[in-house]
Structure 1
């Protein structure tokens, strides 16, 4: 398929995990892809995986210059046909242990940064374009020690619904991807034995009895960014193996 031939898509957090898998898929289908990240290791890996199929941009979500930096890159690329706001991070903490610094930092990365990036990049999106936002099933699970992370992702999901209304006069669609337990960089730092146990416990909570692969989430992301989803906007889509039905 060449669903993205002639299209330019920007993916924040596109140098690892679901974002990198999505970038590879979009590039395979003809897109000119711009991916962002800040880890030297991930930037190098993305450059290796994507080669000349993508532009790899070093961008820190917390930098005040990030929104305008990305807008400048998009302008130099001649505009955008899609944006995937995927960058973020997860951390668990009991409510009693949360600090102001930790709380403000996670909101800054997971909520404030994508909102400001969206504001700067929105004028760069052509009519008929698509915006995708990555949230999390944690928003709905009510999981132990996840109140902060869940709140940041819930705020972003709510914002995306408002953007769908705001951008509809320009014929720009906005949807949310809601991944469940997906094998990604969020857990690659764990020792192999602990990671295996962790994923086994997660699998027991999923109807399909396994964790998902980043490519599976990326495939659905590609659908939502493509013209195949031309009548889909303002909606949230779960890629969770049935976790929320358990």
Structure 2
């Protein structure tokens, strides 16, 4: 039997990379999936690629009104929510000497404030016993140069999972963090200026990973499925790394 049969899921940042791969996997496993992202063309392409029971809603995870519109769409169509994958995020590399308030606000508005609002505004729809998955990162526990603000934002995400696990325990809602390592997605290209720099970054991370390669979005989607399904019914408050060992050894 499909592991998410009859479940309703929301995936922010569901139009590309890990979010897109997870949306496809969830639909294949029987879920009704709502994907949320900023770029309409990518959302349309994702709906066409995945097919089945999938709905796209355009919006920015850092904008409260956009999130209200997302959840109004879910409520009108399904009336409940079983799985929330708060996956939207941004990466902008800056060394400390190039730190700016604009850089900080851009990162924290999406990765921290937007993620908190994404979960808070879902609470009325989330059924008791639902699963909430937060996208963290190995950067939250590593000290990579130029990743300082991004790393701090992902450390905050990890902290949210601990606190929300306690705050939502009476409803049986499980909150877990899923922390990818170096995954071969378009976000890798967004961190640098040229395709050549992106290739060099991929080689650098592959060499640093004990398994000797980058991860695939589908590999992260499989772990998201585990956290979303009853297979992880006694798993709460953890940080589950999908990183080829890079943050573990």
TM-score bracket, normalised by the shorter chain, equals over 0.9
Q: Counterpart in 2 of 1:53?
A: 53
Q: Counterpart in 1 of 2:210?
A: 207
Q: Counterpart in 2 of 1:20?
A: 20
Q: Counterpart in 2 of 1:63?
A: 63
Q: Counterpart in 2 of 1:94?
A: 95
* Superposition deviation, residue 192 in structure 1: 4.5
* Superposition deviation, residue 60 in structure 1: 1.2
> Matches of residues 1-246 of structure 1 in structure 2 within 5 Å?
1-76=1-76, 77-188=78-189, 191-246=194-249
Contact 1:207–1:245 (CA<8 Å) still a contact in 2? Answer: no
| Unaligned runs of at least 5 residues, structure 1 | none
Deviation track 1:22-71 (CA, whole Å, cap 9, x = no partner) reads 00000001000000011133212212112242001101123230232222
Q: Which moved more, 1:183-192 or 1:80-89?
A: 183-192
Contact 2:22–2:224 (CA<8 Å) still a contact in 1? Answer: yes
Q: Which moved more, 1:191-200 or 1:73-82?
A: 191-200
* Superposition deviation, residue 191 in structure 1: 4.8
SS class of match (2:208): coil
Contact 1:27–1:33 (CA<8 Å) still a contact in 2? Answer: yes
Deviation track 1:170-225 (CA, whole Å, cap 9, x = no partner) reads 11111000000001120245655433322111111111011100000110011001
Q: Normalising by structure 2, report the TM-score.
A: 0.94
* Superposition deviation, residue 129 in structure 1: 1.1
SS class of match (1:132): strand
* Superposition deviation, residue 108 in structure 1: 0.5
SS class of match (1:204): helix
SS class of match (2:48): helix
Contact 2:184–2:215 (CA<8 Å) still a contact in 1? Answer: yes
SS class of match (1:161): helix
Contact 1:70–1:121 (CA<8 Å) still a contact in 2? Answer: no
SS class of match (1:243): coil
Report the Cα distance in structure 2 between the residues aligned to 1:116 and 1:66, rounded to whole angstroms. 11
| Unaligned runs of at least 5 residues, structure 2 | none
Report the Cα distance in structure 1 between the residues aligned to 2:199 and 2:92, rounded to whole angstroms. 19
SS class of match (2:247): helix
Report the Cα distance in structure 1 between the residues aligned to 2:209 and 2:64, rounded to whole angstroms. 39
* Alignment coverage as a number of residue pairs: 246
Report the Cα distance in structure 2 between the residues aligned to 1:102 and 1:195, rounded to whole angstroms. 21
